[in-house]
């Protein structure tokens, strides 16, 4: 009986931990399969990928991607700083315009983010199991999986920010760490400007918890100094366009209904992670957990960042930092006293709490994996597998066009077809709404039928055109262009005059 009482907790907990690791590995495999499928897909999947590739192409020719005069074509906007774009430049010079290398960079960045989350946990707790779980949890969260395959700035920003946190967590006493951390935080901010909140604040609070606390203010000075230098340089080189593009032209209407929608989605599908993080935030400091000095400020500010998902045109990329916070706090909970799953406390009076925690986490991970497969990994993969041939036909139309081609969802095809973007519909609709841009000259160009093709996305169940084009623009399209076919849920519009000339011939 004594032998059973000694070994039963060890066997049960060990089996539960093995199954948990299996579920984490399965989630990581789903992530890997998803992103590698999209890496092999030569076309854009998401609306925002086209502008990013267009900006990389123009940067390769040393052109300004932050226009300060939007009254003249091309009507484009650079909503984000250029770090991600600069990382793609060597590949573009070697291979030409393509989406695969942006996705490979995303893969590397997210693997790095997961590693640095786990490494930060280990640096603080010395708990290898907690570190593995905390890092691997990043690939369980569907928002990360879904957005990873899109050529967008968020994955790189997350990778830089967690590299910065790891450096300062590991050696907060070294002045060299302050400089490296500041440089990495600046790289994150100049990948996506919203990353100037969560990671910098977490690093600041972490340093406040160590002596001498003045190092926290030194880090703030270094980070602020680097950021101001790069901001001033980019604004100077762009003739003031950098500030206009990432600030003035980036203020969209805000809808609280969107925030409520995602909050309902999160608490419905990730209830145990939410409850655990709240309890951790409220109690870990009283239990003298060192992880609290990073996890709590990062969690708090990531929630504030997540609220900005209410901005019109937002998507799940606004939840990246919150996803990382939930991953970190999950690992931190595993490492708490009485729950730690290695070392001297592997067996103990509270072994049943450890087992219960593992079982609950397994249920949550399994549920989230199903959620990922059904709602997040499916759509993009189906586009890559089922619409490839029809999308290739649209690229051929662009390549044969003598005049500019307009598109919305498939703007990336315009770039792959050898043209630069002439117009970004959603961004300029926001500028019209904000009273910043006069669309009359563009309406005139539509009336003059200056575009050989217009690729107008029209999927079932969503008014894509109404969301991305103004009413005046849609009226001009109806009056001057006619549909000649449909490819990949996209209406192919051509000028009426060209149809008349073809019929007369």
353 and 422 in a single domain? The answer is no
Q: Is residue 183 a part of any domain in this protein?
A: yes
Residues 129 and 13 in one domain: yes
Residues 290 and 152 in one domain: yes
Within-domain flag for 151: yes
Query: What pLDDT band is residue 347 in, cutting at 50, 70 and 90?
Result: very low
pLDDT of 501: 67
The mean pLDDT value of the chain amounts to 93
Q: Are residues 391 and 288 in the same domain?
A: no
Residue 272 or residue 288, greater confidence = 272
In a domain, 298, yes or no: yes
Q: What are 436-476's pLDDT values in tens digits?
A: 999 999 999 999 999 999 999 999 999 999 999 999 999 99
Confidence of residue 338 (pLDDT cuts 50, 70, 90): low
pLDDT of residue 479: 96
Find, among 439, 440, 452, 465, the residue nearest to 496 by Cα: 452
Q: Quick check: 11 pLDDT over 70?
A: yes
Q: Which residue has the tokens 């089922």?
A: 386
Same-domain check for residues 226 and 316: yes
**Pair 109, 186 in one domain:** yes
**Residue 27 — pLDDT band, cuts 50, 70, 90?**
very high
What is the structure's pLDDT at 344? Answer: 47
User: In terms of domains, do 317 and 201 share one?
Assistant: yes
Given this model, what pLDDT does residue 353 score?
79
Strand duo 453-457 + 405-407: pairing? parallel
281, 422: one domain: no
**Bridge partners, 482 (sequence order):** 494
Q: Which of 120, 124, 122 is nearest to 164 (CA)?
A: 120
Which domain does 416 fall in, by range? 387-504
Does the residue 420 lie in any domain? yes
Angle (CA) 82-87-88 rounded to 5° is 100
The last residue of a domain, from among 311, 345, 380: 380
Q: Which of 332, 349, 380 is the last residue of a domain?
A: 380
pLDDT digits (tens, 9 = 90+) for 121-166: 999 999 999 999 999 999 999 999 999 999 999 999 999 999 999 9
- Scored b (16 or more CB within 10 A) or e, 15-44 reads ebbeebeebbeebbebbeebbebbbebebb
> Rg of the chain over CA atoms, in angstroms?
25
Query: Are 391 and 376 contained in the same domain?
Result: no
Residues 302 and 185 in one domain: yes
**pLDDT score recorded for residue 310:** 95
**pLDDT at site 346:** 44
Residues 178, 244: one domain? Answer: yes
Are 322 and 428 found together in one domain?
A: no
Q: Is residue 425 a part of any domain in this protein?
A: yes
Residue 63, domain member (yes or no): no
The number of folded domains in the chain is 2
Q: Is residue 459 a contact partner of residue 428, using CB atoms and an 8 Å limit?
A: no
């Amino acid at each position: 009986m004594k032998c059973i009482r000694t070994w039963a907790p060890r066997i049960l907990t060990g089996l539960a931990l093995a199954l948990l690791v299996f579920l984490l590995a399965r989630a990581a495999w789903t992530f890997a399969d998803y992103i590698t499928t999209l890496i092999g897909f030569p076309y854009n999947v998401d609306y925002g990928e086209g502008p990013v590739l267009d900006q990389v192409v123009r940067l390769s020719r040393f052109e300004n991607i932050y226009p300060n005069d939007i009254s003249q074509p091309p009507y484009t906007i650079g909503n984000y700083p250029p770090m991600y774009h600069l990382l793609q430049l060597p590949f573009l010079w070697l291979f030409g315009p393509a989406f695969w290398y942006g996705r490979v960079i995303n893969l590397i960045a997210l693997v790095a983010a997961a590693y640095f989350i786990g490494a930060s946990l280990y640096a603080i707790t010395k708990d290898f199991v907690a570190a593995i779980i905390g890092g691997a949890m990043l690939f369980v969260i569907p928002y990360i999986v879904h957005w990873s395959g899109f050529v967008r700035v968020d994955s790189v920003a997350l990778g830089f920010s967690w590299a910065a946190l790891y450096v300062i967590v590991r050696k907060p006493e070294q002045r060299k760490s302050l400089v490296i951390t500041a440089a990495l935080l600046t790289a994150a901010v100049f990948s996506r400007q919203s990353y100037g909140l969560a990671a910098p604040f977490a690093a600041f609070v972490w340093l406040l918890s160590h002596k001498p606390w003045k190092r926290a203010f030194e880090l703030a000075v270094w980070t602020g100094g680097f950021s101001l230098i790069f901001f001033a340089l980019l604004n100077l080189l762009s003739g003031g366009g950098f500030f206009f593009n990432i600030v003035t032209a980036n203020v969209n209407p805000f809808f609280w209904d969107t925030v409520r929608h995602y909050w309902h989605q999160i608490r419905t599908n990730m209830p145990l992670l939410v409850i655990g993080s709240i309890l951790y935030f409220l109690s870990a400091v009283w239990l003298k957990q060192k992880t609290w000095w990073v996890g709590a400020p990062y969690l708090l500010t990531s929630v504030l960042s997540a609220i900005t998902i209410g901005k019109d045109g937002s998507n799940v990329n606004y939840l990246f930092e919150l996803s990382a916070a939930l991953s970190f706090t999950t690992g931190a909970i595993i490492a708490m006293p009485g729950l730690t799953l290695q070392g001297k406390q592997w067996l103990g009076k509270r072994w049943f709490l450890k087992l219960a925690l593992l079982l609950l986490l397994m249920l949550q991970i399994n549920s989230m994996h199903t959620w990922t497969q059904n709602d997040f990994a499916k759509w993009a993969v189906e586009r890559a597998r089922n619409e490839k041939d029809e999308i290739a036909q649209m690229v051929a139309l662009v390549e044969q066009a003598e005049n500019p081609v307009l598109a919305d969802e498939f703007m990336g095809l315009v770039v792959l077809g050898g043209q630069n973007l002439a117009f970004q519909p959603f961004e300029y609709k926001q500028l019209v709404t904000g009273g910043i841009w006069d669309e009359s000259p563009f309406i005139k160009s539509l009336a003059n039928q200056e575009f050989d093709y217009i690729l107008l996305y029209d999927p079932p169940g969503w008014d894509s055109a109404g969301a991305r084009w103004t009413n005046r623009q849609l009226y001009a399209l109806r009056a001057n262009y006619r549909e000649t076919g449909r490819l990949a849920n996209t209406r192919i519009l051509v000028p009426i005059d060209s149809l008349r000339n073809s019929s007369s011939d």
